Amino acid sequence: TGRIFTCILLLLSLSGTFSKYVYIKKKKSWNEAQSFCREHHTDLAPVSNEQDNLKLGKLGNSNDYIWIGLKKNSSESQKWMWSGGREVSSFFWASGQPDNQPEQVYGVIYNNKWRDYPDDNFHFFCYSDFEFNSGFNRKPMKGSQNRRNMLSF
Ligand SMILES: [Ca+2]
């Protein structure tokens, strides 16, 4: 029975969400980039930790500013949030950043460091969520629109 239990634990640990970064070589404003990611992937990319940050550094062109899903909340709190509403857990600002100028409400990544930046047209990083279930079927989740529909059922 110990063996069966181990098997079940193994299967359980294999189900969950996996996400993948995608580098989009199209120059778009932050908001256009967000719409593009939501339509074709899941959303503009969040960065949860140093590892994510390094992954993006390898994936993108390091000589350019590239949008990530970082945006300053327009409410009074002026908090930095990920596109879709998640809070930012670790920050990787370049030295001297953020400047906190009123128009610098979007986040770019450059050489693994972040800068707050006013709107402009840059390449961007999306991410795609995949769901693993116990049958090892990988099901792409099409976009936040679908997710919202699923939540409302
Ligand atoms: Ca700045």
Q: What tens digit of pLDDT does each residue of 29-72 get?
A: 999 999 999 999 999 999 999 999 999 989 987 788 999 999 99
Interatomic CA distance for residues 93 and 86, integer angstroms: 18
Q: pLDDT tens-digit profile of 96-140?
A: 999 989 999 999 999 999 999 999 999 999 999 987 665 555 555
Q: What is the Å distance from ligand 1's center to 41 Cα?
A: 27
Query: Is it the case that residue 147 has pLDDT exceeding 70?
Result: no
Assigned domain for 86 exists: yes
Q: What is the Å distance from ligand 1's center to 12 Cα?
A: 44
Q: What is the Å distance from ligand 1's center to 66 Cα?
A: 13
User: pTM score, two decimals?
Assistant: 0.76
30 is written with which tokens?
Answer: 């932050």
Q: What is the Å distance from ligand 1's center to 110 Cα?
A: 12
146 is written with which tokens?
Answer: 């679908």
Q: What is the Å distance from ligand 1's center to 39 Cα?
A: 28
Residue 49 CB contacts under 8 Å (≥ 6 apart), including other chains: 89, 90
Assigned domain for 8 exists: no
Residues with CB under 5 A from ligand 1 (ion): 99, 104, 115-116
Assigned domain for 3 exists: no
- State residue 22's pLDDT score: 96
Q: What is the Å distance from ligand 1's center to 103 Cα?
A: 9
Assigned domain for 5 exists: no
* Pairing state between β 113-117 and 122-132: unpaired
Q: What is the Å distance from ligand 1's center to 96 Cα?
A: 8
Nearest to 67 by CA among 89, 88, 36, 95: 36
| Count of structural domains within the chain | 1
Assigned domain for 132 exists: yes
Q: What is the Å distance from ligand 1's center to 69 Cα?
A: 15
Interatomic CA distance for residues 109 and 117, integer angstroms: 10
* Pairing state between β 106-110 and 122-132: unpaired
CATH code where residue 115 lies: 3.10.100.10
Assigned domain for 4 exists: no
72 touches 105 (CB < 8 A): yes
Assigned domain for 91 exists: yes
92-125 burial string, b = 16+ CB within 10 Å, else e?
beeeebbeeeeebbbbbbbebebbbbeeeebbbb
Q: What is the Å distance from ligand 1's center to 105 Cα?
A: 9
Residue 27, judged by CB atoms within 10 A of its CB (0-12, 13-18, 19+), counts as middle
- Full residue range of the structural domain in which residue 128 is found: 15-152
Averaged over 136-149, what is the pLDDT? Answer: 50
